[in-house]
Amino acid sequence: MHTHLFLFGGGPPFTPNLRKRFAALTNDGPVAILYVPRTGKDWTSYASIYTEPLEEDGISSFVHLPLSDAPTDEQLAQLQQCHGIIISGGETELYQRYLVDTEIGDIIQSRFADGVPVAGFSAGALVSPERCVIPEIDQRDNRRLRLPGLALLKDAVVCVHYETWGEAAHLTQSFTEEGTSRAFGLADASGIYLEDQHLIETEGTDPVVLSRSPVK
């Protein structure tokens, strides 16, 4: 079974070509959108940035799954039935807490291994590798954190908001410290698609790619 991972350097929407590719892989859904609720923010209206473009590509069913320490049995069952998974952005530490070594995370890993496409935006991209490296600018106490990730992306580290956050030094440091074969610096409004861990397509600003061997 092939794996399909889409990583974006900023928030939604999908870039057009990667959106079409993601939608085609879902077999018309349903698609789960995972997010950490934010105080004072109406998720339903925000989610339309994801859903309306995907509806143009034929996706008609969405599951909105707010993340917490205690997902319900219904939420777990809904996620298990989804044909596409989107991990939204926000406070990366909370996404890491709710997704890594949890029931939700186990289902994501299982569905991903079964060929279900997974898309991560900003925090969702940061939590996707084996190691979730959070820069100071993305941490409430201005500390750089190295935490376990979902391990959807193997032997690589990721930086997001590469240009707006000025992440060149952070990307190089992460690449060196983690000793991975690759590192990806992703700009806002740009994304990459990996099939079976191989970089297949990029869209938007070209990613900065550090590699210890030729990128495949």
Kindly state the average pLDDT of the residues 181-207: 97
Q: What is the pLDDT of residues 36-61, one digit of tens each?
A: 988 777 777 789 999 999 999 999 99
Q: Which of 12-21, 35-44, 192-201 has the lowest mean pLDDT?
A: 35-44
Q: How is residue 116 written in tokens? A: 């279900």
Task: Let me know the angle formed at the C-alpha of 36 by 33 and 40, rounded to the nearest 5 degrees.
Answer: 115
Supply the pLDDT for residue 136. 82
Angle between helices 73-80 and 103-113 (to 10 degrees): 10
pLDDT value of residue 203:
98
- Examine the pLDDT at 84 and tell me if it is beyond 80: yes
Percent of the chain's residues with pLDDT above 70: 98
Q: Which two tokens stand for residue 195?
A: 């099939």
Looking up tokens 């940035």 gives 49
Q: Average pLDDT of 176-188?
A: 96
- Asked if residue 149 has pLDDT above 60, the reply is yes
| Distance from chain centroid for Cα 24 | 18
pTM of the entire predicted model? 0.95
Give the pLDDT band (50/70/90) at residue 192: very high
pLDDT: is 155 or 29 the higher one? 155
pLDDT of residue 52: 95
216 has a pLDDT exceeding 60: no
**208-211 and 198-203 beta bridge pairing:** unpaired
The confidence score (pLDDT) of residue 172 equals 95
CA dihedral (88, 92, 94, 96) positive or negative? positive
The whole-number average pLDDT for the span 78-83 is 96
Q: Is the pLDDT of residue 101 over 70?
A: yes
| C-alpha distances in Å from residue 164, one per residue of 105, 147, 207, 209 | 29, 23, 14, 17
Split at pLDDT 50, 70, 90, the class of 140 is confident
pLDDT at 142 over 90: no
Average pLDDT over residues 97-118: 97
Residues 6 or more apart whose Cβ sits within 8 Å of residue 38: 90
Residue 10 has pLDDT above 90, yes or no: yes
Query: Quick one: pLDDT at residue 213?
Result: 66
- The secondary element (H helix, E strand) that includes residue 77 is helix 73-80
5 vs 136 pLDDT, higher one: 5
Contact between 49 and 15 (Cβ < 8 Å): no
Angle, CA of 29, 157 and 18, to the nearest 5°? 30
